[in-house]
Structure 1
Amino acid sequence: MNIKFNEVQLSENAKSLINECLLSGHFQSDGIYTKKVLDFFQAHLDIRKMVLTTSCSHALESAMWLYGISEDDEVILPSFNFPSAPNAVLLHRGKVKFCDISLETLCPDENDMLNRIALGTKALVPVHYGGISCNMDILTKAKEEKDSWVIVEDSAQAVFSRYKGRYLGTIGDIGCYSFHGTKNIQGGESGALIINDNRINFEKVQNMVQKGTNRNKFLSGDVAYYTWVDPGSSYAPSDLLMALLYSQLLEHEVFLITRKVCFEGYQKHLSSFVGYKGLESMTQIPHYNESNYHTFYVRFENALLRNQIKDSLANKGIDSRFHFMPLHNTPMGHRLGYKSMDFPNSQKASETILRLPLHNHMSMNQVNYVCESLIDILKEI
């Protein structure tokens, strides 16, 4: 049996919607499917101030732009991370300040993040790893006590996940979503920027993603023509991508159930083997989260064992994956002045976690095969 780590299958409805978009002749931004996606998020997640972007990276860059991140402004974010968030800071000439993670969640260690706040701190960017989060109350309460910095949620992996009943991405001042082909809900390389901070002029946000023009007011009939009114860039996605994204949103409940069943299948089969032959832990959902089940990982006692397990699974046709190299321990991280062991938890997670296959079309037969194979490998070591 061959099991892919991630598998994308287009439903007949998805093909139909994409074909309808092609036949309409409207491939650029701001078409009917863009509106349908925005209406969906307002109806289902009560998100009223959202703009769609060409990627989550562009959403993060837009967030830094909106808060005026510039020289001498520090932004704190976890080292165990994808480069998009620190790139967004550096592109606006801000200073990247890394923090460590918790090995229990692989999300930022809230206390370590808060302890790194200084006079120049302008933003915190908690990453919601694998569809779960850190304890957001700790961050939001600290912000209430000293409102000199903002919280930008990197919710790239957490669409439809909740924290104490609230959707991740709607808790901080700004939230950023990803609809990349590796995510639960896919729209090519697209993303979204969610504005929760009432101090931000939403009209300026709409202008920003449309090259700095008031095109949105023109499309709504509020002005006779559109023109350049603000600084901006071209961040709005093609309506073809939005047709794909909308088709995925219509299926999100089925996807969530599939992932939940497979995730719980992994937990059921593997929980009794934690502590056996170097298998140290596996994904656990904190009590405060309702997850979207984006990722299931197992963590081993060292890199050598993890790599051996990965190779053995591959020999059985199972595609498992490592994840982030901690950003402090990369060529760019070293250029920023960081050393390899500055963040030991981030380094350990990078060296010891192994993500098992989990996607929207996975079956329990496949989960059973992965678990049986992993257990057999452990017993043979």
Structure 2
Amino acid sequence: MKIVFASDSFKGSLTSRQIGNIGKNVVSEIFGNECEVVNIPMADGGEGTVESLIEAMEGELVECQVSDPLGRKISATYGRFGNNAIMEMSAASGITLIEEKDREILKQNTYGTGEMMLHALRNGVKNIYIGIGGSATNDGGIGFASAIGVEFLDSEGKKLEAIPENFKNINEINISKIHPEIIDANITVMCDVTNPLLGPTGATNVFGEQKGADVGTRKILEEGMAHYINIAENTAQKSVRYEKGSGAAGGLGAGLKLFVDAKMCSGITTILEILKFQEKIKGASLVITGEGRIDYQSAFGKVPSGVARVSKEMNIPCVAIVGSMGRDAETLLNLGLSAIVPTVNAIMSLSDAMENAEKLYELALRRTLRLLKINMQD
């Protein structure tokens, strides 16, 4: 018998590793030592992806010096396994790096993300997997592009600082000096955001306000972005503005597509492929997945939906043990989940549930496995 744990973390209360450790103890208690237990730390390309994947792939964390969204020097960390790097742009260009009082959306850029990618490539990495959630920026990727050697020139041929404030001043873009390391690299963007670059559902109009852009600033950004992308697409001889995901991370998606021909993929799909998930769950009697809160949104690129889909393809039952259930969580039962088991077993506050997350998970798992044991006895 073989049981696989493939759960996302419960944000702020349980890590994937803790869940795996609880799983080993409870499975041993109920089935003895005859049952093989496999723990596969999971993430969906968002927060926590680097740590989970490095643990699963037995890789290492790498630290480098980069520029934050306002150009201040900071340390950023990415993961490496073999000649692959796994990184989150938020480590260099994330909104949590800038206090709210210091945010200037017209000056913030993704230069540090480009620096982090170059650091990996100059140290032997050939394949980069990058998650682009949690950005502080709305620069269309010009900061990233500047870091890798792209030059943005004004009408007099002078080099411009690569910040959104200068969108309107761009007259020419020189791509002849892009660093060869990044041209030869394979870059996969883990992104489940489908917004285009411009328009009512574009980067500025959907995400600009939460990054500190008021109505007037959003108008400046949208008009400037349109001016920049017209020149950029003409220079690169490709069109990206309408492609799904081009508006992700304030338009970094568009910049990655334009300047390094990055491939955009679902985060959870990419993670499952890197982990060779199908191979690891072969012969399993049960797969147990989960996350802190499951609802209808979990069907869109979250860990439980991805794990359930693959399990269903391999005819393996899949149960989600979750902190709580939200609106229309049962829709995931149509996507491959066999059952959803909440850990909360009484009326309690969120703080109590999080404080006692480990014990609550253990109890929920014990209930789940005892039901499985009854079925086996039949």
TM-score (norm 1): 0.24
Higher Cα Rg, which structure: 2
**Higher relative contact order structure (alpha carbons within 8 Å, sequence separation ≥ 6):** 1
TM-score (norm 2): 0.24
